[in-house]
Amino acid sequence: MQVSPSMVVMYSSIAPQVLDVKLFLGVYIIMEVEKIILVALGMMVSMVAFFLKKESLKVDRLSKRIQNMEIDLAKNSARDSERWTQTTKLLEDRRTDVIKIFEKLNK
Residue ranges of the chain whose pLDDT lies below 50? 1, 7-12, 14-19
Q: What are the two backbone dihedrals, phi and then psi, of residue 72, each rounded to the nearest 5 degrees?
A: -60, -40
* Cβ count near 104 (within 10 Å): 8
**Could you read off the pLDDT of 22-50 as tens digits, one per residue?**
555 555 566 677 888 888 899 999 999 99
Three-state secondary-structure class, residue 55: helix
- What is the per-residue pLDDT for 69? 93
Residue environment code for 28-53, b if the CB has 16+ CB neighbours within 10 A, otherwise e: bebeeeeeeeeeeeeeeeeeeeeeee
